[in-house]
Amino acid sequence: MTTEHPPICVRDMTMAYGSRVIQSDVTFDVNREEIFAIMGPSGCGKSTLLKHLIGLLKPHRGSLAYSGTNFWNVEPSEQQKLRQNWGITYQGNGLFSSMTLEENAAVPLQLYTDYSDAEIKEIIAFKMALVGLAGFQDYYPHEISGGMQKRAALVRALALDPQILFFDEPSSGLDPLSSARLDELILLARDQLGASVVIVTHELASIFAIADRCIFLDSQERRPLAIGPPAELRDNCEHEIVRDFLARKLNKQD
């Protein structure tokens, strides 16, 4: 009998810049088809943790494995193969301003597949329609709204049908309706691909709408204080700071 490894496994990880420790004793799994939120106050290390998860920063100590493969114990070529199973959207979208939406979304397919130009156009057209951007292939990022830019970035993240999706503050700068629509698209992407999702966010509405579990990073103790379903942590967590964070009034932040 074989045991299936979780898509992401973090064990005893310490994140540090030189001698300055950002977070220590970071341990968690992200399960298959789970939406896992990284939350906490400003400056606690949420985005730093995400940078570790996508291989931009190496842990000071501890391990990071994807489906049983330790990312930092394999050759760069194997690391690149692992990365091809990921889709990433950045807080600032990361769209190339000189490229159309179709050209932006096509980049991963051009780099990592043998699809013809016609096949790539067909794939991109389908995925743009999936997120409500049908007919906008020839638009440039500056010609569309912020919410549409977020959706265009999602199309690029979905290009290779990734098994893991990473989002850094996806609702940042969006109005509540656009934010809710993006949450729906994240759920749709998870369901369509059967992917695991890691999302960095401080938005309560998104946390309670889509997160199966979340981890709270504390900026004072510099370690995670709690992991679990958001409603359970809000109601029963032993740490008052976690309960207060999740019990904030939505109308005070939105």
Other C-beta atoms lying within 10 Å of the C-beta of residue 29: 17
Maximal CA-CA distance, the chain? 56
How far is residue 133's CA from residue 95's CA, in Å, rounded to a whole number?
A: 15
pLDDT along the chain (254 residues), means of 10: 81 95 97 96 93 95 96 94 91 87 94 94 93 93 91 92 93 84 91 94 92 96 96 96 85 42
Alpha-carbon torsion (62, 89, 243, 229), positive or negative: negative
CATH number of the CATH domain containing 156: 3.40.50.300
pLDDT in tens, 77-123: 999 999 999 999 987 778 899 999 999 999 999 999 999 999 999 99
Predicted TM-score (pTM) of this structure: 0.91
Strand 86-89 relative to strand 35-39: parallel, antiparallel, unpaired? unpaired
What does the pLDDT read at residue 249?
59
Supply φ then ψ for residue 42, to 5 degrees.
-55, 135
Q: Who contacts 74 (Cβ-Cβ below 8 Å, separation ≥6)?
A: 82
- Does any domain span residue 239? yes
- Does any domain span residue 152? yes
- Does any domain span residue 3? no
DSSP letter assigned to residue 57: S
- Does any domain span residue 1? no
Q: Who contacts 116 (Cβ-Cβ below 8 Å, separation ≥6)?
A: none
Q: Which residue has the tokens 């691909």?
A: 193
| Number of independent structural domains in the chain | 1
> What's the burial of 206, exposed, middle or buried (CB within 10 Å: 0-12/13-18/19+)?
buried
Task: Quote the tokens at residue 98.
Answer: 């000189």
How far is residue 45's CA from residue 223's CA, in Å, rounded to a whole number?
A: 10
**Is 6:204 a contact under the CB 8 Å cutoff?**
no
- Does any domain span residue 254? no
**Structural domain that includes position 227:** 8-247
Q: Who contacts 222 (Cβ-Cβ below 8 Å, separation ≥6)?
A: 21, 22, 23, 24, 45
- Does any domain span residue 186? yes
- Does any domain span residue 2? no
- Does any domain span residue 106? yes
